[in-house]
Amino acid sequence: MHFKRIRDLREDHDYTQQYVANYLKINRVVYSRYEHGNREIPVSYLIKLSQLYNVSIDYMVGLTNNKEILK
């Protein structure tokens, strides 16, 4: 599944793929495959990306247009 918002969020924060890959402690090529939908993103990485960008996982995967994290 292709998650366009993951790339959009990265670009909105002016982060490189290498920066995000380092944050996740993975190889940049692996991260690139997540952005392009060539590889499934583990839930643990979605959680970390949600924390990095301060948005909900539902927003990142396109289930909602609401960025807010529900508490």
* CATH number for position 12: 1.10.260.40
Does residue 32 sit within a domain?
yes
- Its pTM stands at 0.87
In single-letter form, the type of residue at position 52 comes to L
At 57, which helix (H) or strand (E)? Answer: helix 57-60
Question: What are 68's two structure tokens?
Answer: 């807010």
Does residue 42 sit within a domain?
yes
List, run by run, the mean pLDDT of 10-residue segments along the chain (71 residues).
85 97 98 93 95 93 79 59
Gap between the Cα atoms of 6 and 34, Å rounded: 9
Does residue 71 sit within a domain?
no
Domain count, the chain: 1
CA distances from 53 to 9, 11, 38, 39 (A): 7, 11, 22, 21
Does residue 23 sit within a domain?
yes
Does residue 66 sit within a domain?
no
Does residue 70 sit within a domain?
no
Question: What are 3's two structure tokens?
Answer: 């998650």
Does residue 65 sit within a domain?
no
